[in-house]
Amino acid sequence: MTQLSSTEVENDAAETGSQSDERREAWAAQMAEALGDGFAEHHIIPSSDLWVRVNRESWADAATAARDQLDCQFFDWLSAIDWLPSPYGRDMDAQEDNPEPKSADPMEQGHAGGETRFQMAMRLYSISEHMGITIKADLPDDDLSVDTLISVFPGANWHEREAWEMFGIHFNGHPDLRNIYLPGAFEGNPLRKDFPLLARRVKPWPGIVDVELFPGEEGP
């Protein structure tokens, strides 16, 4: 049975941080070249991760380019991010419907920037390079739709259904866009920041009530 097992584990000791950076820079450059105008921005955390933001129209092209040119054959996940600061405050315990926004925080998008409230995010991974990439795309508020990735990665099917029911994002060309978790008659999109968490209305957050002691620390 030994012929079925892989080679012995080797330590990736030779792989230093600076090398990784060059590899990620190269990936970003390759994506920029493949997508042309569709490429918006990228962000690299050295020897950790790479983010690329593309235009909505280039969403499916970005997946294809990452698969074919960066050898990212592994479809990791797909989801969305709602950047609206929660109108119910941090603890989401608003007692009234549709309250005025409490939080004066401006909307601030994360790595690789962005302008819109809703952003798509997908993660692809290269088995050969042992490196992943997070691709984002802005979705304008008046048209929350983006092309489906099913033709590129069939595994996107369920992830897109989830994003559809949780965020209300429409996927053009998806053959079977219906709820995956929630009952068919469910109203609303639960993962949107303005969707109230009813459990917190019934029983407000008590705040931090028990701070755990560190090992070796004496109690009060």
Partner 1 sequence: MTAVSADQRQQLAYVATQAADARLNVEIETEGMTLNIGPQHPATHGTLRLVARLDGEQVVEAEPIMGYMHRGYEKLAEVRTYPQVTTLINRIDWLGSFANEVPFILAAEKLMEVEAPPRAQWIRTVLFELSRIANITLFLGDMAVQLGALTPVFMAFRDREFVLNQIEAATGGRFHPNFDRIGGLKDDLPQGWIDDTKQAMEKMRDFCDEFEELVLGNEIFQARSRGIGIVPAEVGLAYGLSGANIRASGVDWDLRRDGHEALAYDQVDWKVWTHPDGDSFARYWVRLQETREATHIVDQLLDGLPSGPIMAKVPRIIKVPAGEAYAATENPLGEMGYYVVSKGDLVPFRVKIRSASFSNMSITPWLLKGVYVPDIITILASLYFILGDIDR
Give contact residues for partner 1 (rule: CB under 8 A).
Answer: 4-9, 11-12, 47-49, 51, 73-77, 79, 81-82, 85-86, 90-92, 105, 108, 110-111, 121, 123, 127, 130, 132, 134, 153-155, 157-159, 166, 179-183, 190-191, 195, 197, 199-200, 205, 208, 211-212, 214-215
CA dist., res. 48 & res. 66, Å (int): 18
Least CB distance to partner 1 at residue 161 (A): 10
DSSP run (H or E) holding 19: helix 17-35
Least CB distance to partner 1 at residue 93 (A): 8
Least CB distance to partner 1 at residue 199 (A): 8
Nearest to partner 1 of 17, 36 (CB atom): 17
Nearest to partner 1 of 55, 179 (CB atom): 179
Closest alpha carbon to 169 in 40, 78, 97, 88: 78
Sequence-separated contacts (24+) of 104-110 with Cβ below 8 Å: 107/83, 108/83, 109/83, 110/81, 110/83
Least CB distance to partner 1 at residue 206 (A): 11
Task: Please report, in angstroms and rounded to a whole number, the separation of the first and last CA atoms in the chain.
Answer: 59
E strands present in 95-190: 118-126, 131-139, 145-147, 170-172
Q: Which two tokens stand for residue 162?
A: 């989830």
Nearest to partner 1 of 37, 212 (CB atom): 212
Least CB distance to partner 1 at residue 7 (A): 8
- Asked whether the beta carbons of 143 and 137 are under 8 A apart, the reply is no
Nearest to partner 1 of 36, 104 (CB atom): 104
Strand 39-45 relative to strand 49-54: parallel, antiparallel, unpaired?
Answer: antiparallel
Nearest to partner 1 of 18, 48 (CB atom): 48
